[in-house]
Each structure stands twice: as structure tokens, then as C-alpha cells.
A and B are shown apart, each in its own frame.
Chain A
């Protein structure tokens, strides 16, 4: 039993080491010789443009639901006026980043893993190496760069769609005024909330792209192996995104509280 635990731990540690080493190699390669613009452009289109409709729909419908839930749950307690703040704050700090990361993982991450996995099992990645090309620099770096630019943008778009969706429901269905939906947002939604959303989406972008690429680049076992790696990449990304969300929420709020106290002590 102890031997099994030891063996499993060693395997996990080795995998984490490989993963970190891949990220290091990608960053180093991208800084040393940035990938060709055409490769980045292709990935910007694939990750960003092709995901816009999915992300917009997700944000929009989440805004609907949030507005309806907050109106029904809080309206009877006379708190219908917080609908806008609730939708806005939830979308900006939590649901926007998380749902966008989940949708992009399902749509783009899975396809990245399957594509790289197929290249691995058909020796295309070995062919790159045999032609003196670092596969991390050629295949992973453009996806990494495109991911860290596009995922925060998609998150921003999804959040805006969510707030707009909530507005449509609140104003047209529940007859709140536009002012009572938007005005409290200006008071209660701070720059910290926006920064939280942006930082989270940036970290989630790094996580989902690197996990899916890592799984793809380490695929073995033919077509079945590609399927298995794709499933694993999506599940691992989801779990890591949720864990990262918790730790980021804690860390950012702690930093924020500390900054607030420092500011008050200064007064």
C-alpha cells in the first residue's frame, strides 16, 4: 500500500515537473523568438472569434437567470432594487470568468488536445523535432499567446452580455427602470471587482491552454489514447479552474482588505 502511494506520488510529481517545464520552455521560446504572426493569428481566430457566439449565449442566458432569480428571491423582501448589482457583481467577479473558461475549455481546449494528441500519435510532433523545430515553440506558444489575450476579452464580452441579458429581463419582464438597474452598479461595483474578473480570466486562460496542450503533447496509445487524453484534459482543466477560482478569490480579497486597512490607517 505504501509502495503504491509512493509510486503514485512520484508519478504525479513527475507530471507536475513536466508540466512546469513545458510552460517554462513555451515562455522562454516565445520570448527568445516570438512565433510567426500567422500562427498566432490562426489561434486568435480559433480561440477568440470562433468562441464569441458560444460565450455570448452563455453570458446572455446566465444574465437572464440571475436577474429572474434575484428578482423572485429578493423582490418579496423589498430588495428588487439590488437586481442590477447582484447580476453585475456576480457576472464580473465569478460567473463571467468561470463560465467563459468552462465554455472555452469545452470548445477550444478539447479540440487543442485532440489535435496535438493526434499529431503526437501519428509522429507529426517527432517529425517537427527531426526537422530541428521545438514543438513547444511552434505548436504550444501560439496557442498560449492567443489564449492569454483572447480569454480575458471573451470574459469581458460574456460579462457584458450577462449584464445586458439581466437588464432585458429586469426592465421588460419585471418592470424595473433602467436607472434602478444600472445606478446601484456604479456605487457598488468597484475597480477591485473588475480587476478580480480580469485577473481570474487571465489565470484561467493560462491554465486551460497549458493543461490541454500538455495533455495533447503527452498523448499515447493511438485513437483511444487521443480520446482519453481529451477527456482528461477537460476534466483536469475544470478542476484546476475551480480550485484556482477559490484560491484567487481568497487571495485577492485578503490583499484588498489589507490595502483598505492600510489606507484607513494612513488617514
Chain B
């Protein structure tokens, strides 16, 4: 369970988060929609402890991480994971080393026990199979396509089975088929891990496919949260625009 209260963040003279409030429940996929630059990614970076807010609190499973010191935050986010927009694979490591990285550093996510190399190898193999990247173990990130990188990033995330998963625009820049594969993987991962997933996206089709609840992020705040059906019926200019553009319109030929 994630509880965010009155979150404020300012970069220079620009207030990105303005007293944002949000709850994400256990075993749900919460999708945050919003225009570019409203601070959706900034919100995820706060939840996973990369950024510190100017004001407000983030409580994760009863622990207020915004009150913690830097080293305590690292401990608190051990059972969380994030898929970055650009995948953020370590470019000095191959796909196998990238995927095994967390397990080699921390051991098992729940028990913290060091895992034997054979077990790590097996878990990596399973994770790569789950995202359809068998046989790419020895490839370097620079040898992968955009979609493959996203899937390798997802394998790196799901291999240690975190309780909280954050996805920063997982389908942006992908073709519709790969995007749908990623959507299905997000749902499959959620069904398996039964944790809390927060997905930030612009992609309405993707949002409607994966979301248990949808949230609208506008002007530094969450202005609406609802289940997909109720969300699409809300009377709000942005949602109205989304509703109207759900089916792509053909432009008039001259």
C-alpha cells in the first residue's frame, strides 16, 4: 500500500508537484495518465526514493520513506523496482549480467539470502523466457532493439519479484504489437507477484488494457481517480478529449 500526502516539489522556479495526494492499493495496477511535463515521472522517482520532496510524505507499507536518511532509503526500497522509460540497462554488462544484477548484489529479495550462481542463472533464464528474450543472454544492450531493451529491462525487474513495481512509460516509442506484448507482461507479472503496480503512460489503449484504476495527473496534482469505466465517463476536458480520440480519426483528404 502506497499513501502519498501533500507532495510538493520545485525545480528552480517551477513547481512540478503541488500538494499531490494519491493512494495505491495492494494487488492493483494503478495507471497515471497525464500530458507530457506534468511530473508523472517525477512522482515515480519520489516513490522509489531517487528524489526527495520539498514537502509532504510518502508512506510505503507503513514506513514513511520521506523521513528516512539516504542509506535507510536504500534499505526501504529493496523490495521495489522500476522500469525506466529508456530501460536504463547497464551498458557495460550483457543481458544476462543485467538481469542477474539485483540477485548478485542482494540475494533473494524477500529473505536477503545469497543465492548460488546456478540458482541465479536459472532465475535469469526463466525471467528472460517470460519476456521472450531467450537466447539473448550474451548480447550487449547496444545490440538490442528498443522493444527488446524494454523487455530486458522488464526481465531485470521481475527476476527479483519486488512487491512494488513502477513503470515509467513502458510502451512509449514501441510498435503496437510490441506495446501489446509489454502490456500483457505487466498484467501477467502483476497476477504472479500480487504486489502494487503503478504505471505512468500517455498511451490510453495501454492504460485501459492494464488498469484496475486510472488516475489523471494535471497541473502537479491528481485530479481524478476511478476504475476505467467510471473514469472514461468523468466530465473533464482532458478525459473528454481522450474519449473522443480513443478511436483514431482519419484526416479529411484534400
* Interface set of A (CB-CB < 8 Å, partner B): 25, 118-119, 122-124, 126-127, 129-134
The smallest beta-carbon distance between A42 and chain B, in angstroms, is 10
The answer on a CB contact under 8 Å between B45 and A127 is no
Q: Does B245 contact A (CB under 8 A)?
A: no
In the complex the two chains form, what is the Cα distance from A25 to B85 in whole Å? 28
Q: Does B91 contact A (CB under 8 A)?
A: yes
Contacts of B74 in A (CB 8 A): 129, 132-134
Contact A131:B90 (CB < 8 A) given known A126-B45, A126-B50: no
The answer on a CB contact under 8 Å between A123 and B84 is yes
Q: Which residue of A lies closest to B84 (CB)?
A: A123
User: What are 24 pairs between A and B in contact, CB < 8 Å?
Assistant: A122-B86, A122-B88, A123-B85, A124-B88, A124-B91, A126-B50, A126-B88, A127-B82, A127-B90, A129-B48, A129-B50, A129-B74, A130-B48, A130-B50, A130-B82, A131-B81, A131-B105, A131-B106, A132-B74, A132-B78, A132-B106, A133-B74, A134-B71, A134-B74
The smallest beta-carbon distance between B244 and chain A, in angstroms, is 34
The proximity string for B residues 98-125 relative to A, scoring 1 for CB distances below 8 Å and 0 otherwise, is 0001100110000000000000000000
Q: Does B77 contact A (CB under 8 A)?
A: yes
Contact of B101 among A122, A131, A134 (CB under 8 A): A131
Contacts of A122 in B (CB 8 A): 86, 88, 91
The smallest beta-carbon distance between B114 and chain A, in angstroms, is 13
The smallest beta-carbon distance between B78 and chain A, in angstroms, is 4
Q: Does B49 contact A (CB under 8 A)?
A: yes
The smallest beta-carbon distance between A143 and chain B, in angstroms, is 14
The list of the 9 closest CB pairs from A to B, nearest first, reads A127-B88, A123-B88, A130-B82, A132-B78, A132-B74, A123-B84, A130-B48, A131-B102, A129-B50
Q: Which residue of B lies closest to A128 (CB)?
A: B90
The answer on a CB contact under 8 Å between B81 and A124 is no
Contacts of A119 in B (CB 8 A): 90
* Interface set of B (CB-CB < 8 Å, partner A): 45, 48-50, 70-71, 74-75, 77-78, 80-82, 84-86, 88-91, 101-102, 105-106, 166
Query: Mostly helix, strand, loop or mixed at chain A's interface?
Result: helix
The smallest beta-carbon distance between A34 and chain B, in angstroms, is 14
Q: Which residue of A lies closest to B82 (CB)?
A: A130
In the complex the two chains form, what is the Cα distance from A131 to B77 in whole Å? 7
Q: Which residue of B lies closest to A134 (CB)?
A: B74
In the complex the two chains form, what is the Cα distance from A129 to B88 in whole Å? 12
The CB with the most chain B CB atoms within 10 A, among A124, A129, A130, is that of A130
Q: Which residue of B lies closest to A136 (CB)?
A: B70
The smallest beta-carbon distance between B110 and chain A, in angstroms, is 13
The answer on a CB contact under 8 Å between A132 and B88 is no
In the complex the two chains form, what is the Cα distance from A122 to B86 in whole Å? 7
Contacts of A126 in B (CB 8 A): 45, 50, 84, 88
In the complex the two chains form, what is the Cα distance from A123 to B84 in whole Å? 8
Q: Which residue of A lies closest to B45 (CB)?
A: A126
Contact of B80 among A25, A123, A130, A134 (CB under 8 A): A130
Contact of A133 among B48, B86, B105 (CB under 8 A): B105
Contact A129:B105 (CB < 8 A) given known A123-B88, A124-B88: no
The smallest beta-carbon distance between B239 and chain A, in angstroms, is 30
The answer on a CB contact under 8 Å between A132 and B75 is yes
The smallest beta-carbon distance between A20 and chain B, in angstroms, is 15
The smallest beta-carbon distance between B216 and chain A, in angstroms, is 25
Contacts of B75 in A (CB 8 A): 132
Contacts of A124 in B (CB 8 A): 88-91
Q: Which residue of A lies closest to B102 (CB)?
A: A131
In the complex the two chains form, what is the Cα distance from A126 to B82 in whole Å? 10
The smallest beta-carbon distance between B111 and chain A, in angstroms, is 15
Contacts of B81 in A (CB 8 A): 130-131
In the complex the two chains form, what is the Cα distance from A133 to B73 in whole Å? 10
Contact A123:B86 (CB < 8 A) given known A130-B77, A131-B81, A134-B71: yes
In the complex the two chains form, what is the Cα distance from A101 to B71 in whole Å? 33
The smallest beta-carbon distance between B46 and chain A, in angstroms, is 12
In the complex the two chains form, what is the Cα distance from A130 to B77 in whole Å? 7
Contacts of B50 in A (CB 8 A): 126, 129-130
Q: Which residue of B lies closest to A29 (CB)?
A: B71
Contacts of A132 in B (CB 8 A): 74-75, 77-78, 106
Contacts of B82 in A (CB 8 A): 127, 130
In the complex the two chains form, what is the Cα distance from A25 to B89 in whole Å? 25
Contacts of A131 in B (CB 8 A): 81, 101-102, 105-106
In the complex the two chains form, what is the Cα distance from A25 to B49 in whole Å? 17
In the complex the two chains form, what is the Cα distance from A131 to B90 in whole Å? 12
In the complex the two chains form, what is the Cα distance from A223 to B125 in whole Å? 34
The smallest beta-carbon distance between A127 and chain B, in angstroms, is 4
Contacts of B85 in A (CB 8 A): 123
